[in-house]
Amino acid sequence: MRPQNDPEPNGEELFEHHRFLASKGQEPLRVDKFLMNFIENATRNKIQQAAKDGHVWVNDEIVKQNYKVKPGDEVKVLFEHPPHEFLLVPEDIPLDIVYEDDVLLVVNKPAGMVVHPGHGNYSGTLINALIYHIDNLPVNSNERPGLVHRIDKDTSGLLLVAKTEAAMTHLAKQFFDKTSEREYVALVWGNVTDEEGTIEGNIGRHPKNRLQMHVFPEGDAGKDAVTHYKVIERLGYITLVSCKLETGRTHQIRAHMKYIGHTLFNDERYGGERILKGTTFTKYKQFVENAFKILPRQALHAKTLGFVHPVTKKMMRFESEIPKDMAECIEKWRHYSKHSQ
């Protein structure tokens, strides 16, 4: 879907980058604060500057940053250039390719690499690297070249890429039909009570913080989501778990684990960057702070990926090692739990 264009008073075109509709329950809120709740990686200064430059519109009129958003307002951010995801530039970025043939490849994505361009991340993404590496990648339903699925920027691990239209269709159907295999390893706060279990609860955008996903257990909003978890190792105030996805919702593991009271370790967006379990001892606080420095991201790794090959029809299964930062953090907790009994 191409970005919508709006004419500027001087005849030049503006391209729509963001559009949000204020809910019926929206309390009066400055438009710069309103946009901060919706746009990932945006800063208040950038939003205020955009407003000063005439790029923030409400109900098709330019507004200043102190405009108070009301229920039903349509808020848009418009710029002279089209969104960068529509200007994909090939970049010679090294890829850790685990497997590749004529129709697909499996990539081991490092933590910190954004999968596809978006606001604040216009270059250096996996897609920039893929379109340099491969010509004429097919696009998925969201017009993302090659992507069968995605993982978050700060999640490491395996990602499947389709190189042909037929492979894209075949592989996407496996993910839709829940026949693909995806196992993640996560470090979560707290001592998980049960050895294994299943978390069920619809996942959708948080009603107040649009950068978070929220669990709606009554099923009144969001999409159905199922996560199967199993304890791998208990490390005192945190637990190492395996999570197998039956569905693939945005932030599924992060939202589901928080929902059952076990937020991912150092998951800043969901509150895991705070000391959620443990003692009040200063030494413990220092220990946790050091662990945060070792692993400056959410403790989540896409370890296993399984699917049926679209041409050979054979089951393929790949595994990747837990990366160094996460492995060192786990070892640090392992040592702490043994010596703090």
Q: Are 250 and 211 in contact (CB under 8 A)?
A: no
Q: What is the full DSSP assignment across 16-77?
A: EEEEEE--TTPPPEEHHHHHHTTSTT--HHHHHHHHHTT-EEETTEE--TTPEE-TT-EEEE
Answer yes or no: 152 catalytic: yes
Determine the residue type at 52: K
| Range list of H helices, 150-281 | 165-176, 252-259
Judging by beta carbons within 10 Å of its beta carbon (0-12, 13-18, 19+), is residue 268 exposed, middle or buried? Answer: middle
Contacts of 95 (CB under 8 A, 6+ apart): 107, 126, 129, 130, 133
Q: How many residues does the chain have?
A: 341
Taking the C-alpha atoms of residue 104 and residue 167, their distance in angstroms, rounded to an integer, is 7
The active-site residue out of 32, 152, 154, 267 is 152
CA pseudo-torsion sign 201, 203, 204, 209: positive
Instruction: Round to whole Å and give the CA distance between 299 and 330.
Output: 9
The DSSP code sequence of 248-279 is: --TTHHHHHHHHTT-PBTT-GGGTTTS--SS-
Which sequence positions are flagged as catalytic? 152
